[in-house]
């Protein structure tokens, strides 16, 4: 079967539209935490209650991703992508107009529901709209856009709050999302997915193909390859969450690393991870052995964190070696997405990515509790040992042969 080569300019336009939504989805997630001091005073609640606010976003998004994935494959991705961006923009933007804590929780549930559409819808559109020969780089740019949104969200919202007020800052952030929706709506004809409408009958006059897919979808998600990918995504999430949230405290507690150096090491890790995503995209378009790429990157990272756990390294070397670990973790992301795409049946990309992405939410919810307990127990070295264990589990999941479902 010949591979259809699409113009690079067309790919760039489509990818720009998808990445703008993905950028905003991550941007919005990190607009509230920097404003917690203002929200604490305005709503008259403690930081635990504000933590519950963010839990509502993550929990709603994680729970909704799988059913949204089914709907994306049934109805189409474009409608859900647009609706999701509207809900996120309204959810966060309207916080600037309320002083009621229950309303704040409700708005975060709305925002979480909006966030749930991006992975199922984005990957369904990219898989069907972009040139397959550039898919690895496209996935890497998509992931990088999300990381960029996370990096710029706190800076932008504090800047706007300083110029005007925290309420105005959130209202402006929400309006940017609504404006993006209008731009996206004008380009709908460029965005495609592989959903099959319910009314489209099979050639033999039997049940509509979409009905059969709906009946078989749950069984497909509970198959060995999909469960392994769910576990793989959960392990990568626990690895990244543990490193980002507790590596600084663990380094200070384990080796008496100066706080500034430990923070610099984490910063180097994060910047190298972002660069690694782009490097990984280029690698993914040059090989079909994405499992080998992911396994090698995880093994190298695991060896690095074990070294950090057992040896007090010179400070410059510590920063450099954690930057290398970040580079490896970034390279994994496009390989991960390409592996999932390879086993996703046509017409079911949305539900597959929705299901495996729910593993990210699960890992993100469990990791802080476990790593926090480790630190409270006075065993900071086990932060790095646990990271190495999660990486070993991830390597084991990609080592198991997987067959493409049809």
At 202 the pLDDT is 47
Domain annotation covers residue 121: yes
Predicted pLDDT of residue 61: 84
134 and 18 in one domain? yes
Whether 208 and 198 have beta carbons less than 8 Å apart is answered as yes
**C-alpha–C-alpha distance, residues 77 and 355, integer Å:** 15
Q: 50 and 182: one domain?
A: yes
Out of 193, 224, 249, a domain closes at 193
Do residues 162 and 55 both lie within one domain? yes
At residue 246, the pLDDT reads 82
- Domain shared by 382 and 294, yes or no: yes
Residue 67 inside a domain? The answer is yes
Q: Tell me the per-residue pLDDT of 211-222, one tens digit each, with 9 for 90 and over.
A: 455 557 778 888
Which pLDDT score, from 0 to 100, does residue 16 have? 84
Report the distance separating Cα 111 and Cα 60, nearest Å: 8
Question: What whole-number distance in Å separates Cα of residue 111 and Cα of residue 177?
Answer: 12
pLDDT tens digits, 172-204: 999 999 998 888 777 776 666 655 554 444 445
Which are the contacts of 119, defined by CB distance < 8 A and separation ≥ 6?
Answer: 65, 353, 354, 357
Q: Pick the more confident residue, 183 or 405.
A: 183
Return the number of other C-beta atoms located less than 10 Å from residue 317's C-beta.
Answer: 11
What value does the mean pLDDT take over residues 339-361? Answer: 81
9 vs 119, higher pLDDT: 119
Q: What does the pLDDT read at residue 367?
A: 81
Boundary (domain end) residue, out of 141, 163, 193: 193
Mean pLDDT of 233-242: 88
Confidence (pLDDT) at 92:
94
Q: Is residue 199 part of a domain?
A: no
Sign of the Cα pseudo-torsion (177, 179, 182, 188, in order):
negative
Whether 66 is in a domain gets the answer yes
Residues 43 and 163 in one domain: yes
Residues 344, 64: Cα–Cα separation, whole Å? 20
Number of domains the chain is built from: 2
Q: Is the predicted pLDDT of residue 169 greater than 90, yes or no?
A: yes
Q: Last residue of a domain, which of 165, 193, 221? A: 193
CATH of the domain at 325: 1.20.1250.20
Indicate whether 59 and 150 sit together in one domain.
yes
- Looking at residue 194, its pLDDT comes to 56
Above 90 in pLDDT, residue 69?
A: no
- 198 in a structural domain: no
Q: Are residues 245 and 352 in the same domain?
A: yes
Residue 140 lies in a domain: yes
pLDDT in tens, 261-285: 888 888 888 888 888 988 988 898 8
Over 70: is that where the pLDDT of 343 sits? yes
When pLDDT is averaged across residues 37-56 and rounded to a whole number, the result is 83
Residue 152 shares a structural domain with residue 218: no
DSSP type of residue 187: T
Q: Which long-range contacts (CB under 8 A, 24 or more apart) does 94-101 make?
A: 94/174, 95/32, 95/170, 96/166, 96/167, 96/168, 96/169, 96/170, 96/171, 96/174, 97/167, 97/171, 99/42, 99/43, 100/43, 101/43, 101/44, 101/45, 101/49
Residues 89-147: pLDDT tens digits? 999 999 999 889 999 999 999 999 998 888 888 888 888 777 788 888 888 888 888 88
Render pLDDT for 278-309 as a digit per residue (tens, 0 to 9).
Answer: 898 889 888 888 889 999 999 999 999 999 99
Does residue 377 fall inside a structural domain?
Answer: yes
**pLDDT bracket for residue 241 (50, 70, 90):** confident
**What pLDDT is attached to residue 296?**
94
For residue 254, the Cα-to-chain-centroid distance in whole angstroms is 30
Mean pLDDT rounded to a whole number for the chain: 83
242 within a domain of the structure (yes/no): yes
107 and 223 both lie in a single domain? no
The boundaries of the domain holding residue 24 are 13-193
Do 173 and 254 lie in one domain? The reply is: no
Pick the closest to residue 403 from 217, 224, 214 (CA basis). Answer: 224
Q: What is the largest CA-CA distance in the chain?
A: 72
Backbone angles phi, psi at 192, to 5 degrees: -125, 160
pLDDT band at 8 (very low <50, low <70, confident <90, very high): low
Q: Is the pLDDT of residue 54 over 60?
A: yes
Strand, coil or helix: 156: helix
- As separate numbers, helices (DSSP H) first and strands (DSSP E) second, the chain gives 15, 0
229-254 in b/e form (b: 16+ CB < 10 A) is bbbbbbbbbbbbbbbebbbbbbbbbb
Return the pLDDT at 215.
58
Q: Are residues 39 and 136 in the same domain?
A: yes
pLDDT for residue 66: 83
Same domain? 300 vs 393:
yes
Q: Would you state the pLDDT for residue 331?
A: 92
> What is the reported pTM?
0.77
């Amino acid at each position: 079967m010949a591979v259809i080569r699409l113009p690079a300019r067309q790919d760039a336009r489509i990818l720009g539209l998808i990445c703008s939504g993905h950028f905003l989805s991550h941007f919005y997630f990190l607009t509230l935490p920097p404003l917690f001091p203002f929200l604490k005073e305005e709503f008259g609640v403690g930081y635990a209650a504000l933590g519950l606010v963010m839990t509502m976003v993550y929990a709603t998004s994680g729970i909704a991703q799988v059913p949204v994935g089914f709907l994306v494959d049934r109805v189409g991705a474009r409608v859900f992508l647009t609706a999701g961006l509207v809900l996120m923009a309204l959810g966060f933007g309207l916080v600037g107009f309320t002083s009621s804590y229950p309303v704040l929780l409700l708005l975060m549930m709305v925002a979480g529901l909006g966030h749930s559409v991006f992975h199922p819808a984005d990957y369904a559109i990219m898989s069907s709209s972009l040139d397959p020969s550039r898919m690895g780089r496209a996935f890497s740019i998509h992931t990088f856009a999300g990381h960029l949104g996370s990096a710029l969200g706190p800076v932008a919202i504090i800047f706007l709050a300083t110029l005007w007020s925290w309420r105005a800052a959130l209202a402006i952030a929400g309006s940017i999302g609504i404006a993006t929706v209008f731009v996206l709506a004008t380009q709908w004809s460029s965005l495609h997915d592989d959903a099959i409408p319910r009314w489209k009958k099979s050639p033999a006059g039997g049940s509509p193909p979409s009905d059969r897919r709906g009946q078989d979808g749950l069984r497909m998600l509970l198959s060995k390859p999909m469960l392994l990918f769910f576990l793989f995504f959960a392990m990568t999430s626990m690895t990244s969450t543990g490193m980002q949230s507790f590596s600084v405290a663990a380094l200070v507690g384990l080796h008496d690393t100066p706080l500034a150096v430990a923070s610099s090491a984490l910063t180097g890790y994060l910047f190298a991870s972002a660069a690694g995503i782009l490097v990984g995209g280029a690698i993914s378009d040059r090989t079909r052995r994405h499992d080998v790429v992911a396994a090698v990157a995880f093994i190298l990272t695991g060896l690095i964190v074990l070294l950090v756990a057992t040896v007090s390294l010179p400070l410059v070397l510590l920063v450099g070696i954690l930057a290398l670990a970040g580079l490896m973790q970034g390279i994994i992301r496009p390989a991960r997405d390409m592996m999932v795409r390879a086993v996703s049946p046509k017409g079911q990309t949305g539900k597959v990515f929705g299901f495996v992405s729910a593993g990210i939410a699960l890992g993100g919810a469990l990791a802080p509790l476990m790593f926090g307990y480790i630190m409270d127990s006075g065993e900071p070295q086990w932060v790095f040992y646990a990271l190495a264990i999660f990486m070993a589990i991830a390597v084991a999941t990609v080592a198991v042969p997987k067959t493409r479902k049809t």
